[in-house]
Amino acid sequence: MNRLLPALLCLALAACADTPAQQDVNLAMPSDMVCQTETPTGSNMPKKRCRTEAQRRAEQDQVKDFEQNRRTSPGDPMGR
């Protein structure tokens, strides 16, 4: 019981702590940052992902290059 009371007190104080306002969070991010909610493959838990427009374009280019190379590269049709 003596150990439980301080733990509960710390938990109660942490629950009362103020979270940063959305405006404060937006000020911390660069102005060209775009946030999207994405659900990863194999998960039902959406995650917020923030990237700049340049990062997003670079990822799209990588995907296009991968798809193009996959289609044109010779390989075993059975995937071995």
Alpha-carbon distance of 38 to 73, in angstroms, equals: 30
**Measured distance CA(35)–CA(31) in Å, rounded:** 11
- 42 with 35: CB under 8 angstroms? no
Quick one: tokens of 59?
């990822």
The pLDDT of residue 33 is 86
Q: For residues 20 and 27, give the distance between their C-alpha atoms in angstroms, rounded to a whole number.
A: 11
79: alpha, beta or left? (left if phi > 0; alpha if psi -120 to 50): left
Q: In the chain, how many domains are there?
A: 1
pLDDT of residue 43: 92
Q: Is residue 9 part of a domain?
A: no
pLDDT tens for each residue of 19-77: 555 555 555 556 788 898 999 999 999 999 999 989 999 999 999 999 888 877 666 66
Would you say residue 20 lies in a domain? no
Q: Tell me whether residue 59 is in a domain.
A: yes
pLDDT value at position 12? 66
Domain limits for position 63:
30-37+47-71
In a domain? residue 5: no
Across 3-7, 8-12, 67-71, the highest mean pLDDT is recorded for 67-71
